[in-house]
Amino acid sequence: MGIGLAFIIVLGLILFAYIGTELLGLKSLFAVVFPYAALIVFLIGFIRRMVKWGKSPVPFRIPTTAGQQFSLPWIKYSKIDNPATGWGAALRMFFEIAFFRSLFRNTKAEIMNGKLYVGSNKWLWIGALAFHYSFLIILVRHLRFFMAQTPWCISVVDSVDSFWQIGLPMVYMTDIIIGAALLYLLGRRIFNPQVKYISLPSDYFPLFLIIGIIATGVMMRYFARVDITAIKELTLGLAYLKPSVPEGIGSLFYIHLFLVSVLFAYFPFSKLMHMGGVFLSPTRNLANNNRMERHVNPWDYPVKHRHYEEYEDEFREKMKKAGIPVEKE
């Protein structure tokens, strides 16, 4: 549900940016006000959300144990999937965040002729990894627009990314990979009946938004001619808090920038916050040392429970008759 709605909203955003800059000429609004506002909303929203989550305590130690526990010395235990130490848990989180380890485990279940078949299914893992890493690299590449001197590390990323040189300008691998990954993720939502059924507008919206961002970016780089010097003047101005809006930047760029601004502003209010939340997931970030070390619940309170005396009072005669020792004769 909601794919049409999400698509129309993104289309509307594009149109809004086009009308705003091309027809109404509100370039400062789109070049300066919106990006700054979006960044502020993003930063404050992100931090607020993290603090809010962080304020909820973790009363119990409940890691999902995905491997052999630490027990007898001669039994090899699973240090990463079932860590017994904080370091192990940190390593588990690292693999989770850097390589999507839980998703790597993904399987697919099918029922055929009354039998269940469960098999490995790594497509979502590949798609997700491809998308996230490409996005990260593209983000890093963009830093050269915000610095007067491009640092060497960013140049390295840049040249590795454009390793396959196909014509001029150089084609970035990540541009191709992220496009394919986004189409796969969108395709899954449309063609996988289970995923389609659970999807909300808020699942399609960021996909279309990012597709819009990538599409406009790719168009600017490879197809439409944009004044890269003017753009860098603008972005540097933004970065050094001395914003100026040079002439000669086409609407395509403003659309791109506006969609990015929307993405930033939307981020803290959406499921995209999984980026921050994944670090806080108690089933993954805790060590499984529950019986080894005491964990304290900050809101623990005494409860009324039945004491032995009450129990014996009720059953004393029966216990005595059966020869079971009692406290009071």
Partner 1 sequence: MGLPRPEELISNVNLKKMPSKWWMDTLPVEFKPGFYCYGAKGKNLEYVNFPNARDFHVTDEDWKLPEDWKKIVIEGIKQRLERFRTFHVFMDICVRCGACADKCHFFIGTGDPKNMPVLRAELLRSVYRKYFTSGGKLFGRNGGARDLDIDVLKELWYYFYQCTECRRCSLFCPYGIDTAEITIIARELLNLLGLNTDWISGPVANCYRTGNHLGIEPHTMKSTLEFMCNDIEEITGIKIEPPINKKGAEILFITPSGDLFADPGIYNAMGYMMLFHELGLDYTWSTFASEGGNFGFFTSMEMAKRLHSKIYEEAKRLKVKWILGGECGHMWRVWHQYHNTWYGPVDFLEEPVSPITGTKFENAKSNKIVHISEFTADLIKHGVLKFDKSRNDNLIVTFHDSCNPSRGMGIFEEPRYIIKNVCNHFYEMPDETIREQTFCCGGGSGLNAGEIMELRMRGGFPRANAVRYVHEKFGVNMLANICAIDRATLPPLMDYWVPGVRVSGVTELVANAMIMKGEKERTMNLRMEPLPGKEEE
Closest CA to 19 of 251, 265, 257: 251
Question: Does 136 sit near partner 1 (CB under 8 A)?
Answer: no
d(CA 322, CA 329): 13
- The nearest distance, CB 301 to partner 1, in angstroms, is 9
The strand ranges marked E within 37-192 are: 107-112, 115-120
- The nearest distance, CB 213 to partner 1, in angstroms, is 18
Contact partners, residue 228, CB within 8 Å, separation at least 6: none
Q: Give the H/E segment covering residue 118.
A: strand 115-120
- 107 backbone dihedrals φ, ψ, rounded to 5°: -130, 175
From candidates 23, 51, 118, 166, binder to partner 1 by CB under 8 A: 118
Question: Does 235 sit near partner 1 (CB under 8 A)?
Answer: no
d(CA 165, CA 173): 9
Q: What is the largest CA-CA distance in the chain?
A: 100
Q: Give the H/E segment covering residue 110.
A: strand 107-112
Instruction: Match 């300066």 to its residue by tokens.
Output: 32
Instruction: Identify which range of 110-118, 135-143, 151-159, 212-220 contacts partner 1 by CB under 8 A.
Output: 110-118
Question: Does 230 sit near partner 1 (CB under 8 A)?
Answer: no
Question: Does 288 sit near partner 1 (CB under 8 A)?
Answer: yes
Which residue, 167 or 193, is less far from partner 1 as judged by CB?
A: 193
- The nearest distance, CB 121 to partner 1, in angstroms, is 9
Residues numbered 56-85 forming contacts with partner 1, rule: CB under 8 A: 56-62, 64-78, 81-82, 84
- The nearest distance, CB 299 to partner 1, in angstroms, is 6
In contact, 60 and 286? CB cutoff 8 Å = no
From candidates 11, 44, 98, 291, binder to partner 1 by CB under 8 A: 291
Which residue, 32 or 128, is less far from partner 1 as judged by CB?
A: 128
From candidates 43, 47, 90, 107, binder to partner 1 by CB under 8 A: 107
Question: Does 4 sit near partner 1 (CB under 8 A)?
Answer: no
Taking CA atoms, 125 is separated from 116, 186, 206, in Å, by 23, 14, 19
Residues numbered 152-211 forming contacts with partner 1, rule: CB under 8 A: 188, 192-203
d(CA 206, CA 264): 11
In contact, 231 and 249? CB cutoff 8 Å = yes
Question: Does 322 sit near partner 1 (CB under 8 A)?
Answer: yes
Binding mask 261-280 for partner 1 (x = CB under 8 A): --------xxx-xx--xx-x
- The nearest distance, CB 306 to partner 1, in angstroms, is 6
Question: Does 122 sit near partner 1 (CB under 8 A)?
Answer: no
Which residue, 225 or 305, is less far from partner 1 as judged by CB?
A: 305
Question: Does 318 sit near partner 1 (CB under 8 A)?
Answer: yes
- The nearest distance, CB 17 to partner 1, in angstroms, is 22
Taking CA atoms, 197 is separated from 43, 122, 206, 272, 287, in Å, by 33, 21, 18, 20, 35
Question: Does 329 sit near partner 1 (CB under 8 A)?
Answer: no
